[in-house]
Amino acid sequence: MHLKDKTAIVTGGSLGIGAAIARKLAENGANVAINYRKHDTEAKAVVADIEKHGVKGLAVQADVASFDDAQKMVDTVTKELGGLHILVCNAGINWDGVIWKMKEEQWDKVIDVNLKGYFNYARAVTPLFREQQYGKIINVTSINGLRGKFGQANYTASKGGIIAFTKTMARELGNKNINVNAVAPGLIETEMVAQMDETAKQRSLAEIIMGRLGQPDDIANVVTFFASDLSRHITGQVLNVDGGQLIA
């Protein structure tokens, strides 16, 4: 297995894409810790699935928007799981609205979770990764961070920021054997998408060349590749996993 003896953190790992990533990393041999804020039952279920693969699983209650919570989680994981090699930043929210009606709270909340949350965890792991001269950081962004999306100024700003953040970290950390890459999903069948307005969902589905919604495992497979040494000479890249949605 590609990830034997490696340990990973997956933020937002109790549901959707994050849960699929956590399970896939474990399937490939990694110990996996996930964070959750309020989905305690779901987080425990994911940990149970992780441990079915004969590896260690851990769920930590932590708010990704909290700088202190991020550091505490990294400290807990390194102590309880015996190290850390992979960081997958995935936790995200949306709170849509056109710019002329958007409230300050809408902007701040989405940026705090979707962008500052990625900084919090990267800042917590990079001293360790630099010291051990090894690490994999994979950031989950969105194709809407590349193209913009009506009614999502806050969300697309956060996702576009993640792309720039990824490229900057790749430049800063590459000489310490740390790979930093991003995965940009298109429309994926998750809890978030299930809550979309049906007209908007059908409009997005019509953009997808392959004519179907993506599945969480489609993202998890690519993240697992980036987390492995199969991708050792790839850094600073953004890979769209969207069934051709962005080029339609």
Element (H, E) at 80: helix 67-81
Distance CA 152, CA 158 (A): 10
| Radius of gyration in angstroms for the set of CA atoms belonging to the chain, rounded to a whole number | 17
Residue with the two structure tokens 């009606």 = 101
Distance CA 120, CA 58 (A): 19
Residue 53 · residue 8 · CB < 8 Å: no
Phi-psi domain of 91 (left: phi exceeds 0; alpha: psi -120 through 50; beta: other): beta
Residue 17 · residue 222 · CB < 8 Å: no
Query: Catalytic residue at 121?
Result: no
Q: Please compute, for residue 77, the number of CA atoms within 13 A of its CA located in the half-sphere on the CB side.
A: 33
Give the type of residue at 8: A
Buried b (16+ CB within 10 A) or exposed e, 103-127: eeebbeebbbbbbbbbbbbbebbbe
Residue 217 · residue 190 · CB < 8 Å: no
Distance CA 228, CA 246 (A): 26
Distance CA 222, CA 156 (A): 22
**Residues known to be catalytic:** 155
